[in-house]
Each structure stands twice: as structure tokens, then as C-alpha cells.
Amino acid sequence: MLAGPYATMMLADLGAEVIKVEPPGGEISRQVGDSYFASLNRNKTHVFLDLQSEEGQHRLAELVAQSHALLVNMKPSAIRKLGLTYQNLSRFNPGIVCVAMTGFGLDGGDDPAFDYVIQAATGVAAMTGDPDGPPTLPGYSSADNSTGLTAALGLLAMVVAGRGGQVDVSLRDVMLSQLNYRAAAYLNDGVEPRRHPNGAHSYYVPAQLFSTADGYLALFITHDGFWRLFAAEAGIEGFPTMAERSARREEVLAVVEAALTQDSAVGWENRLRPLGIPAAAVRSLPEALDATPGVVVRAGDFRLVGSPIRVAGYQPDYRPPPPVGGHSS
């Protein structure tokens, strides 16, 4: 519903010709809503195929013969049953790149693997939220989106290499990979992740959300130079080194919290950013979109967030998603 469509939309935005293969009547995410579907399927054409029929398989073989890649987002058993692997499709095109996006890998079984399930299974939920509260899920589909980008990267790597083959990308493996330094700390030093209040970073201090006179501020002090500039602006003395700030975390946070109550989150952002200090007022999504109108594009009747990849000399031609009753490629 999300990971595969997002991967191929990123490629379509960059100029790839993407043909979306849907079952008769359309794929299930169309039922969520028109804007949901548009947000993941712009710039694509489509074809309706019953892949369980002889005619559908024949048409699929024709598409494979003239394509660089086939990306599939299904359970492993369905991928194999429908013959959507390189082992099966290479007879039509030895150069085809077959990308399988699954929950746990092509050989990992058919256990349900939606985004929230993967966040729970890989430790993401356990390390998110207040330490005295329950595990928390991020406010967007981090596992699906991350897996989509990873699958698109694997697909492109094979196409650039000029060889066909099978690419296997799973939501579980992608999320564990993205826990890089957290996993390394446990595997090498035996340090288990633990939650700090206000989403505080485990190493850097102060690096978290802070309450201000009006709103919340994200402040991310990663080295001593940032601290000197911030301390001077906030009227704070002491704690000159990263090691000392880490060792005296609670003392540092107390003086920073007191200082930040003297101005609003937006006020602090306006004061700190010119100094080069990483800081931002916490905004809602509508506020963030209003503040960055340049990211919003129009695709037919839909207003959407455009591609995050800016290529010099290239401007995507944003087209609306294929309608259910529209032309089938």
C-alpha cells in the first residue's frame, strides 16, 4: 500500500517510465482515499492485470521483456506463486532487475509485516517516547518510507551496473540498519538504548525538546563551539566541554530550561539560527507546509509534496495518478 508505490513514485519523479500493475478494479490503497493514492502514485501509467490468469501472465511477460526492472511489494508466497522473481522472469529478459519488498525477506516467511508491526519488532517503538510512558510509534510510516527509498536504491544500483538479478529488501532489515549507532553501541559496548525525557539524545547534551515561554524548541548542541555560542546568547556560564555536559546532564538541562523560558520558541529560533546553532520551533504539519510553500506541487487536481531530489537542469512534470476508469497502458 505504501512502500512499493513510494519507491516507484520516487523513480517516476526522476523521469523513469513507471507502469503500475493493478488487479482488476484497482489496488487496495485506492480505498483509503483519493489524496492518499495520489500522494504515492503520481507520474505513473497503469495496466490492470489478473496475474492468476494466463492472459495476465502473458501480458506481464511482454512488459518484462521491454523493461529494466520489476518491483513487487507482496508476501513472499504471493511473489513466488505469481512468478514475480528473477528466476522465473529472466527467460523473458535476462537483464531484468527483480526487486522484492517484503516484511522479513523472500525467505523470511509470510508473517504480517505492516509498518507499525515492524516498528515494534525492531526496537523502534521501545526506544521512542517518555521513559515513564508506554512505547511510542513515530507519527508517520517510517518503516514503509525508508524501505521504499532503500528498494529504489537497490534497483538503481543494479540498473547502473548493467546486469539483471534478484534484489531482496525487507522492512525488518531496513529498520535494523537505520538503528546503526544504537545497534553498534549494544553489539560492541553492551550499551542498551534507553529513553530520556523530551526525546533527549543519548550522547549530546543539551539535545532535545525544551519548553519555552510559548511553544517547544528543538535544540541540538553537538559540540563545544555550539555550546559557547548558545551559552553566550542565553546568559549561561560553565559546562565548557561535551564530556562535562554529558556527565552533569541534569544540571545542564536545569539551567538551559530556565534560560529558555525567557523567550518563545520562535523567538529563540530567530536568535539562534543566525549564530549557526541548530534549533527550530516545533511546528505542526500545516505550519511547516505554510512555511515552505516551495515544496508543494500540483499534479492535476491534487496538491502534493514534490520530490525531495533536486537535479540541476531537470524539473519533474508532475502528473496526476492513473484513475481507475482511465486509460490502461
What are the residue numbers of the active site?
Answer: 144
H or E, element range at 298: strand 296-299
- What cell was used for 290? 505554510
Report the SS3 class of residue 229.
helix
Q: Tell the burial category of 157 from Cβ atoms under 10 Å away from its Cβ (0-12, 13-18, 19+).
A: exposed
| Cα 170 to Cα 158: distance, rounded to the nearest angstrom | 17
Q: Tell the burial category of 226 from Cβ atoms under 10 Å away from its Cβ (0-12, 13-18, 19+).
A: buried
Q: Which amino acid is at 76?
A: P
| Cα 184 to Cα 60: distance, rounded to the nearest angstrom | 43
- What cell was used for 273? 539560527
- What is the layout of strands, in order, in the sheet containing 165-170? 69-73, 97-102, 165-170
**DSSP per-residue codes, 73-121:** ES-HHHHHHTT-SHHHHTTT-TT-EEEEEESS-TTS------HHHHHHH
Report the SS3 class of residue 72.
strand
- Residues 298 and 306: beta-carbon distance below 8 Å: no
- What cell was used for 188? 560492541
The CA dihedral of 279, 281, 283, 289, to the nearest 10 degrees, is: -60
- What cell was used for 190? 553492551
Q: Which residue matches cell numbers 560553565? A: 238
